Structure 1
Amino acid sequence: MLREMATGEPVQVTSGMSSVDKIVELAAVAEQFGYQYSDVRRGNGYVMSLVTDPNPQARARAAHNWAQYPNAVDGGALPPFVPEAFQLLKARITFDLTSEVSDKQKLIIASLGITVMAVSVVAGLGADMTSFVVAGVVWVVLVSLLPLLNVAGRRYRAKFAARLSAAGFTPVTDQSGRLRYLPPGGQLPGQGNHFAGGEGTPPQPYPPQR
């Protein structure tokens, strides 16, 4: 990741790790070296987008850390995380993951999954009356739980939204209609930040290429 960041171009990080903390750690490292978290989606694991941060404070921090930790790109020591900043980044990434699809889409996807599972039960037990009854009962029970799971999901998102709002993050809607939270002064990629779209050359310094 750090080698790709040294080019100054937008970076996409794919992690098969199941823990959100692991992807947050990668984003926190990137922010120490002149990049900022842009978005994350589920793919084959997590797929996170990073873009350069043109903020003068970010550039100064990056220059300092590249100088202080020259071997970071080769797996050497990294600057320590700021606990409060790490937790806010975790809240932002978790919120983005939980709002990746709408509640209606989640219901549709879950319903389809439950239906496929019910069909599998019938196929596994044999297409007789008993298998149909068992599959039907399983389907009804699981589908009846979906609204409760949606309510729990909304409360979970609301908790992180409240934490971000209290820290001064601003709610915005991206081009797909998805609600996002941006840090003070932050912008979505392509909205006024020419570095976010990968255009132009970011302010120096970056470490020399190896």
Structure 2
Amino acid sequence: MKRLTRLAFIAQQFGYEYADVWQGGGPGGNAFVMLIVSDPSPQARARAARNWAQYPDAADGGALPPLVPDEVELLKARITFDITAKFTDRQRALIAAAGAVPLALLVGFEIGAGVNAVVLAGAVWAAVMALVPLGLAVNRRYRAKYAARLEAAGYTTVTDPSGRLRYVPPDGRLPGHGNPFA
């Protein structure tokens, strides 16, 4: 999360803005992928021009603008909220139930065949399913913590085109929905 947040902050300094994050990148398909889009606002253009003038070698690995802790924390809150709000609790429970089946089957096959294998596989599945409410509670806690931080900073909730709850900056628009040709 720290790397994604820093990347989003630096991108904002050069005329871009964080738009979304999801899991599914990298060689194993389990890394996070972040969408950064051009920010057409006059404030972003002025900030980018100022930073390109002050840090001309930034694109070549040179010096970068210093991190502003408060802004970085807000970005972290947005990114974390987006990750934790991707699925509803019901969807998460169904994913956990489906994921617990192969784990239970693996345990059952390791033991062999027979009643003992079936009973142990069922016990493993039940144990994993007993942990699901704990996972859902932790996810709700994180989501509430970061939602409170965003609301305190003036961010408002909107529902994006896919039906997912998102927080938008005080200007009230989803990133990437400006007119890039203005």
Same fold (TM over 0.5): yes
The offset of 1:124, in angstroms, is 1.5
Q: Which of 127, 138, 149 is residue 135 of structure 2 equivalent to? A: 149
Aligned letter for 2:174? Answer: L
- Give the secondary-structure state (helix, strand or coil) at the position aligned to 1:49: strand
- Per the normalisation by structure 1, the TM-score is 0.80
Offset of 1:186 from its aligned partner? 3.8
Structure 1: where are the runs of 5+ without partners?
Answer: 1-19, 203-210
Check conservation: 2:104, 2:125, Cα contact below 8 A. yes
Structure 1 position 32, deviation (Å):
0.5
**Aligned with residue 38 of structure 1, among 15, 19, 32:** 19
1:194 corresponds to 2:179: yes
Aligned residue for 1:184, secondary structure, equals coil
DSSP 3-state at the match of 1:70: coil
1:110: which partner in 2? Answer: 96
| Structure 1: distance between partners of 2:44 and 2:176 | 19
- Cα deviation for residue 173 of structure 1 reads 0.4
Give the aligned residue type for 1:40: V
SS in structure 2 opposite 1:188?
A: coil
Where in structure 2 are the equivalents of 1:4-15 lying within 5 Å? none
Per-residue deviation at 1:77? 0.7
* Structure 2 CA distance for aligned equivalents of residues 25 and 34 of structure 1: 15
What does residue 28 of structure 2 align with?
none
CA distance in 1 between counterparts of 2:11 and 2:167 reads: 19
More divergent stretch after superposition (34-43 vs 44-53): 44-53
**Residues matched between the structures, number:** 177
**Counterpart residue identity of residue 71, structure 2:** A
Contact 2:108/2:117 (CA < 8 Å) preserved in 1? yes
Taking the aligned partners of 2:142 and 2:72, their CA distance within structure 1 comes to 19
Percent same amino acid at aligned positions?
54
* Length-normalised TM-score, structure 2: 0.92
Matched, 1:27 2:4: no
For 1:179 and 1:27, the matched residues in 2 are separated by 20
Q: RMSD of the alignment, in Å? A: 1.4
Normalized per residue, the structure richer in helix is 2
Residues 1:163 and 2:156 aligned together: no
Residue 75 in structure 1 maps to residue 56 in structure 2: no
Task: For 2:176 and 2:50, locate their aligned partners in 1 and report how far apart those are by CA, in whole Å.
Answer: 27
User: Segments of 4+ in structure 1 off by > 6 A?
Assistant: none
